[in-house]
Amino acid sequence: MNCRKIVRIWAITLLALWATATSIAPMARAQAPANFLGTITAISGTTLTVKTDAGQAYQVEVPAAAAIKRIALGEKDLSKAETIQFTDLAVGDRALVKIDPDSPAGTPQALRVIAVKQGDVAAKQQKDREDWQRNGVGGLVKSVDSGGGVIVLTSGSGATAKTITVHTTSATTLKRYAPASVSFDAAVSAPISAIQAGDQLRARGTKNADGTSIDAVEVVSGTFRNISGTVLSTDPASSTLVVKDLATKKQVTIHITPDVQMRKLPDQMAAILAMRLKGGSGGGAGAWSGGGQAPGGAAGSTPRPANQAGGQGSGAAGGGQWQGQGGRGAGGGGDPQQMLSRAPAIQIADLKKGDAVMVVSTDGTTDVTAITLLAGVEPLLEAPAASQSLLNNWSMGSGGQGAADAQAQ
């Protein structure tokens, strides 16, 4: 065996040991699969960093010989793709990358890159959001007939409660939220058999007149956790809070992301909702008027899009107002879920030790990510089952975030 070969063997051995020792290094160093689809997050020289919808990031070198093409969003015929230059690629573009199997050791090299421009993706996402809001339904799964492709949901609460039948076919796109994720973009394909009673589900398609039946073209579902408890501590810097779960008596760390819905119920709104959930009429006038700092509506909070419209609530110093007659919250039409949507928005800094909260979160035991958090809920905890159903349905009623993919194959 010559010296050069020995050196090469040692180099490969050291490289393998280094890779093992740094398995917790940034994801960009992970071995890239033969093909992957994601969003371009960085461009340096002739190297792209592409982050997949599942959160995995890969670095790939694009040599001069690589085929780089742009295709219209939704187009699947590569013969219609336009040849472009590497300099035409931009951060934010979607990219389908095929790795050259003969790439030398080190950073993998692309054999082909098929891109969809960021502007096309944004336009498609906006169109999808509008379609989900217009033609979507949501609720909790009551039953699943996998053989017949039929899913029965319960939606709403109190006088607005109804049953929705979701019809699926072999052409229906079925997706499932990834573990520890509340991102629609990260949802993965899954069979109807993965859907279980108690799951949250959104479906988009053609509805009947009263919205009790839908022929679905797309379905997304997930298993989430309900937490009712008291705040033990908050850490705005790390966007986390610790809550003592009243059911398990255990502490749970809750992560707050920019996409979370966070609201605080004014006292009288909470009392009216609690009365309704316990079977009362919820009648009489309700009004909240805030002097000084209002209970919520902090600047910078980011409720989900479908819950932003309507209602009165301000986090500005000096006031904010919620008014209701006969339990009708600020134009909510008497719908409890609309009342929740019109409660003032808050941030983690508005919470304090001892506050009662209700949370819909990703599934987990001691560490979860919040989807929806509602404070000011002391009266609602007197009817916990009905309250959690209300919160679940409100969370799912926020509308799907349509993912726009480069659909080239």
Most confident of the following: 11-15, 205-209, 333-337: 205-209
Assigned domain for 1 exists: no
What is the per-residue burial (b if ≥16 Cβ within 10 Å, else e) of 76-110? eeeeebeeeebeebeeebbbbbbbbeebeeeebbb
CA dihedral angle for residue 104, residue 70, residue 409, residue 122, rounded to 10 degrees: 110
Cβ atoms 80, 89 nearer than 8 A? no
Mean pLDDT of 230-248: 94
Query: Per the structure, how many domains does the chain have?
Result: 3
CA 118 to mean position of chain CA atoms: 20
Domain boundary among 179, 200, 222: 222
Assigned domain for 10 exists: no
For 270, residues 6+ apart whose C-beta sits below 8 A from its C-beta are 376, 377, 378, 379, 380
pLDDT at residue number 236: 94
Integer Cα distance of 306 and 68 in angstroms: 38
Same domain, 252 and 199: no
Per the listing, tokens 């959930």 go with: 277
Say yes or no to pLDDT of 315 above 60.
no
Same domain, 262 and 273: yes
**Of residues 340, 402, 392, 391, the one with CA closest to residue 198:** 392
Same domain, 283 and 391: yes
Same domain, 163 and 297: no
pLDDT tier, 394 (very low <50, low <70, confident <90, very high otherwise): low
Same domain, 304 and 370: yes
pTM of the predicted model as reported, rounded to 2 decimal places: 0.56
Same domain, 76 and 164: no
Assigned domain for 176 exists: yes
What are the pLDDT digits (tens) for 297-307? 222 222 232 33
CATH number of the CATH domain containing 86: 2.40.50.320
Same domain, 141 and 242: no
Integer Cα distance of 232 and 239 in angstroms: 14
Same domain, 188 and 283: no
Assigned domain for 409 exists: no
Same domain, 273 and 374: yes
Q: Which domain holds residue 295?
A: 225-396
pLDDT at residue number 300: 26
Domain boundary among 95, 123, 151: 123
Same domain, 241 and 373: yes
Assigned domain for 21 exists: no
For 184, residues 6+ apart whose C-beta sits below 8 A from its C-beta are 175, 177, 220, 400, 401, 402, 403
Assigned domain for 177 exists: yes
Say yes or no to pLDDT of 334 above 70.
no
Assigned domain for 404 exists: no
pLDDT at residue number 395: 62
Domain boundary among 94, 123, 152: 123
What are the pLDDT digits (tens) for 346-368? 999 999 999 999 998 888 889 99
Same domain, 347 and 376: yes
Q: What are the DSSP E strand ranges found in 191-299?
A: 200-207, 213-222, 224-235, 240-245, 251-255, 261-264, 285-289
Assigned domain for 401 exists: no
Same domain, 144 and 94: no
pLDDT at residue number 275: 82
Cβ atoms 200, 361 nearer than 8 A? no
